Structure 1
Amino acid sequence: MRIMRPRACMLILGVSLVLSPGVIRGQTIGHKLEPYLKSGELPAVAAAVVERGTITEYGAVGTRKMGSEIPVTIHDKFHLGSDTKAMTATIAGMMIEESKLKWDSTLGDIFPELKDSMAADVEKVTLEQLLSHTSGMRADDENLMDLLKNSVDVDGDLNDLRYWIVKESVKLPLVAKSGSAWAYNNRGYTIAGAMIEKVSGKTWDELIVERIFEPFQLTTAGLGCQSSMGKVDAPLGHVKQKDGSFKSYLAGPNADNSPILGPAGIAHLSILDFATWAGWNAGNGTRAPCNIVSQQMLEKIHQPVFTVKGENRPGTPPAGQYAHGWGWVTVDWAPYPLLYHGGSNGKNLAQVWIDKQKDIAIVLMTNISNPKADDTLRKIASELYQDATTGY
């Protein structure tokens, strides 16, 4: 992103993936990460490796604010960006298994009161198309920017504002036949979130806390800017300016995207909590928590839908195949495609790499976003992956 019922599962004995607050297991890898601070021009970087449900390596180095000496810790909250999309897709999977939604539920099905105002064929756009960026709806254009600006004059909670985005967006003609083309679309994920809100009777913001953060014991997870107003109590997002200097952003209206876009990517959490979430996905939901979605549903969420050419912007999917909040990417340091997603709000960057065959997950986060930072996180992922898979 870049815009401004109980199930059988395996309980793991020994080291638990879902760590209690303050409990850390595994080896620290600060020495591996330190060299990348300078070479990648990163204020800070955090990374962790999960192997078969155990966090085996972790580390966080650097500063919360460039030019200062406020060291980051492994408990610091980094922004997740579009890696939030996989959580939204998982909540959608829950709604499907609870028979509140279907993969082929359409905008016309969920919002019948808006049918008369919908442009041609918009009523046929499905939940799956929205979650796979194949809806054919207008994406992150000036119209969406204008809607977000104008939303300040719209009364209501965030679910009301997302419904207003839906109401205004369905009037617009499709730019491509639904299901025939792929275009990264944060508007689409926001609309998918509104569909979830309509059938659940709760805001997406409540649902991600109740259905993801709490069951996974992601104690550092939250929504919006990772730092508090007026405080440098988390890694601040950074931008490298044209003159080569770095600008940091305290919490405020310009530090993160609009909360209306929550389903598309405004979550934050620590590297250890990110590892917990990634490791559960790597194990295909076979480990606790057991009451999220079935293994079959998680496989469906991970299943490729469309082959994409990709984009060059950090935090957007590269070339490969796109699923539902996840992509499959081929890299020269892995023997087969890995499950992947990146996330960025233009000032922070996060990546998750998963080898489902070996049950390994690698997560990385930094508090700056640009092509150099994106490439640097990939280099770290390559090193950590090779170390983790030595001997296989």
Structure 2
Amino acid sequence: MKKEIIIILIFLLSFNVKAQVFSDKIDSIRTQYQIPALGVAVLSSDSILEMNVYGTDKIHSDSKIGLKNRFHIGSNTKAVTSFIAADLVSKGKISWETGFFSLFPELKTTQNEADFTLINLINFKTPLTSFSYDTEIPESLQITGTNQEQRYKIAKYLLGKKSVNKNEDNLYLTNLGYVLAGLMLEKASHKSYNLLVDELSKNLGIIFQFGSPNLKDKMQTYGHDSQLNPINTENVKLNWLLTAGNLNISLPDYSLFIQNYLLGIKGKGKILKQNVFDMLLFGFPKFSFGWFNMTGDKGNFLQNFGNANGFMSSVTIIKEKDLAIVILGNVSSDRAQEGIEKIFEVLEKKYYK
């Protein structure tokens, strides 16, 4: 009996040492690539295989982050908007084929003869002009009112502008499609996007919030620019881009949101049916409802990368392995993106065999 206990203790000690070595490796990459705060999670449909946070809430701070710290997820908001759209379609509030101008006929211009369907807006299939948080908007343009009214006014202005060109995958890569889709969801449901997100949060048992975490709570995580300066102000254009990229969430809650996709494609997900989860992830080639997808020698990969207001977020779903990898950071720079890619390689090597 004593020998068995000793063997078990040696095994546990060895396991803990290996876990610490692995954790130290992740943290060393974070330090090398100057990412003040980092969140990492690896998930299967029924388990949290890895979840840890590293660093401090902002540069030169002594306040270490914990699992309650929140990260801005940028463009990964698009999957949230797509999920809400799918729920409203399932409830009969709107159709995927509903046209934007059937809901907003007053915004139709001579340049936009064809209608824009909800499904095409969400899947980058609609010819629209470029729009991001660094798009120049004339000072003479009066964008006032509630956030919802401001998004309507900016949409009205941008609908008259020249479309971006299709890329090699026949996609029109612009955030404007999600801004228009958000207006449609609000009108069809008679609810603000904020309320729709709050209802989704409640139904999933998680908490999405809006904007940068530190602007609501100074004890929360700060974003940093490429020079590692903490960002203390909100870019107003991110409010206009809310439905395309302006949500924040904690690592545990975001992991539950992503895990619901893994459960969903097995017919065990919350809110949506299995065929709807399949459509969201694999309904279109190259980009499907908030996810870039690809098929290679390792199977079906779904990925997206968020980058806004000093934060970066990377999510990968590997269908055949029932696996998802989430990496969240609080600095926006080429160096930080390289570091996140290095961390992904380390996690992939450990968990994707």
Taking structure 2 as the reference length, the TM-score comes to 0.85
Q: Which residue of 1 aligns with 2:252?
A: 272
Structure 1: gaps (5+ residues): 1-26, 307-320
Per-residue deviation, 1:167: 2.6
User: Are the equivalent residues in 2 in contact too, given 1:107–1:122 (CA < 8 A)?
Assistant: no
Q: Which amino acid aligns with 1:94?
A: D
User: Are the equivalent residues in 1 in contact too, given 2:265–2:275 (CA < 8 A)?
Assistant: no
Confirm whether residue 253 of structure 1 aligns to residue 240 of structure 2: no
Per-residue deviation, 1:103: 2.0
Q: Which residue of 2 aligns with 1:376?
A: 339
Q: Which residue of 1 aligns with 2:121?
A: 130
Instruction: Mark the CA change 1:34 to 1:385 in structure 2 (over 3 Å): closer, same or farther.
Output: same
Q: Which residue of 2 aligns with 1:154?
A: 144
Q: Which residue of 2 aligns with 1:262?
A: 242
1:1-392 matches, within 5 Å, as 30-115=23-108, 118-140=109-131, 145-146=136-137, 153-155=143-145, 157-175=146-164, 181-211=170-200, 213-219=201-207, 221-228=208-215, 231=218, 233-241=219-227, 246-250=228-232, 252-254=233-235, 257-284=237-264, 286=266, 290=270, 292-303=271-282, 305-306=284-285, 321-329=286-294, 335-390=298-353
Instruction: Mark the CA change 1:378 to 1:65 in structure 2 (over 3 Å): closer, same or farther.
Output: same
Q: Which amino acid aligns with 1:266?
A: N
3-state SS of paired residue (1:124): coil
What is the CA deviation profile of residues 277-315 of structure 1, one whole-angstrom value per residue up to 9, with x for unaligned ones? 11111223557663x222111211112535xxxxxxxxx
Per-residue deviation, 1:195: 0.7
Number of aligned pairs?
Answer: 334
Instruction: Mark the CA change 1:163 to 1:264 in structure 2 (over 3 Å): closer, same or farther.
Output: same
User: Quick check: which has more Rg, 1 or 2?
Assistant: 2
CA distance in 2, matches of 1:362, 1:175: 32
Per-residue deviation, 1:355: 1.0
- Percent identity of equivalent pairs: 24
Q: Which amino acid aligns with 2:264?
A: N
Instruction: Mark the CA change 1:372 to 1:183 in structure 2 (over 3 Å): closer, same or farther.
Output: farther
What is the CA deviation profile of residues 161-184 of structure 1, one whole-angstrom value per residue up to 9, with x for unaligned ones? 222233333333545589x93232
Taking structure 1 as the reference length, the TM-score comes to 0.77
Q: Which residue of 2 aligns with 1:24?
A: none
What is the CA deviation profile of residues 102-137 of structure 1, one whole-angstrom value per residue up to 9, with x for unaligned ones? 22222222223433xx23345422212211122111
User: Are the equivalent residues in 2 in contact too, given 1:83–1:341 (CA < 8 A)?
Assistant: yes
Report the structure, 1 or 2, having the larger helix content: 2
User: Are the equivalent residues in 1 in contact too, given 2:263–2:269 (CA < 8 A)?
Assistant: no
